[in-house]
Structure 1
Amino acid sequence: MQNPFENTGFSMASLTAAINLLPNRYGRLEQLNLFPVKPVRTRQIIVEEFAGRLNLLPTRAPGSPGTVGERGQRKLRSFVIPHIPHDDVVLPEEVQGLRAFGSETEMEAIGGVMARHLETMRNKHAITLEHLRMGALKGEILDADGSTLVDLFDEFDITAQSVPFEFSTATDNGQLKGACLELLGLMEDGLAGEFSTGLHVLCSPEFFRALTTHKEVKTAYQNWQQGAVLINDMRAGFSYSGITFEEYRGQASYVKADGTLGTRRFIAAGEAHAFPVGTVDTFATYFAPADFNETVNTLGQPLYAKQEPRKFDRGTDLHTQSNPLPMCHRPGVLIKLTSA
């Protein structure tokens, strides 16, 4: 009897195309399009830093020799792209009764079962990518168990910076305004000549609530929006002192070392993380090719899917994998905000 999964519609190319066409329903960072996709052909990337200097030129008497331009220093940094495989299985019970002889809808029914599995697997890869990207925004990319994959501050020899927000002071003394101005200054210094259209802050619910209910911010916002804060949901983001603040509730479950499930918040309670938007080349997500014979030396895709029959044809194993590395090329722009 013919195995329906031997149809070309279930080949590696077809399944990979199908899983990449499924909509990504999870991830605020995906919606912001902050990390544009950059496919590569290798499992390792090289980030080159060119540190040129812009200095003042002194005056000279007419006829004097001019100053000589200095060449910037180049530094190369190598990063290994993580490999994230995920497997599932399609059992005969899931397609039982759908293989009537001569049925014209047989492949559509089996295709629907496969699509449900691919969608579930795609969602798991999507939340994993969101977790990695949030780590890149915080300067430390973490694995599912919380271990560090890449510490961007160490790799680029940069000291992490933070700005405290004094919410404990209930009076309108301009302290929060001063903290925002300090944040803007640090961000502009960290850009190092890069272009940016604005500054965005993703806040934990605790930080966002303390900010929006503080007398200094609340009064300024009411004067600016004529009291719209009382009737609108501001969690989607509002501007204050030239900065857009947005509440972020990203979290996901993970398997602990003892086999039990735990929950990890992507932003710790009472914290927020600032980053520039509208940059040219500050953020990127590198995708490496899968470790298949068919994908050697090809440009990487966000997701791959492949299937093969189990022993004695007792089901079909479904394999997916992603090889992503979110990267911030200028970690100096990553600034943490703390509640004080």
Structure 2
Amino acid sequence: MMLPKDYVRLKLTGERASEITDASGTMMLDCATGTWDDALVEAAGWERGKLPHLLHSFDPAGQLRPELCRRWSTPRTVKVAAGCGDNYAGALGVGAASPGRAALSIGTSGVLSAVDGTFRPAPNHAILTTPHAAPGTFLSMAVVMSATQSLDWLSRLARLPAGDLAEMAEHRIASVGVAGRPIARPSITGVRTPDNRPDASAFFSGITAAHDIADIAYSVLEGVAFQFLDGFSAQRSAGVPVAEVQAVGGGTHSRFWVSLMATLFDTDVSIPESGDISACLGASRLAHAATTPDERDAILARQPVARMTVSPVAGMREPLMARHRAFRALPFKTG
């Protein structure tokens, strides 16, 4: 069995191997120990001998084949790192390599990836907990199935750019506040954390003739932020430390949207200069660490330059939390 990136590495190096972050997605890994679990392997109908040996993400996993070195005019010795999955690389790209640091990815879907020094699984809240790509750590991942996808969906309906909708929502709240706005669970592709309802459809409540597209846009932004809060709260209740948050992804282009999350989390959220390439940066750091093992920890923990830091909005958390209670009371409807 070869996972996609491991197959690419096989072609590059001739070495058959995998690493613990991607292997966690096979449902055959003991995530507490980072080893194949014999009982799970048997239940899946596989044989241990057909599974690749496991490396850490920062380990060298072979050298570039000589014929490829000649074709690409590289040095004769080029190490290839084991690598990792995308969310793990994105976390490393913002220096989330030690307990308490977290990466908030606001993309098509959303993930709050929090680094922990202890294995604290929370399957009852649909939180994925696996070994991290940084040494001696685990990654707790709370997932929002539709983040910017929810705003893009509204953008198509309204025939207005998503960025314009976010600005309209910001101006509306600046002028009239959050009271009286519709409340939405914009779960157009289901809910993962904490309810694990893949069958759930979106739900809007409180829309009247007095509301317009700016109000609806705000309810979508707020509803996504509420889903992130649910994940954040589930992680905290499981004992996962979340002290420093770096936000990446297309959703960070709306400072207002990030400010909703900072206010709900009651913590500063930093947006790095390199946020759009965080996963690529994390992967390159693993390559650097594989070739410079003595500097591994410093390489993986390097902090990015902040483009801006978004702080909680004074006086806004209490009304938002009141609306969050109404959000949690919304019924689950299936499409």
1 or 2, which has the higher helix percentage?
2
> What's the TM-score once normalised by structure 1's chain length?
0.27
Q: Determine which structure has the larger strand proportion and give its number.
A: 1
Structure having the higher Rg: 1
Higher relative contact order (CA 8 A, sep 6+): 1
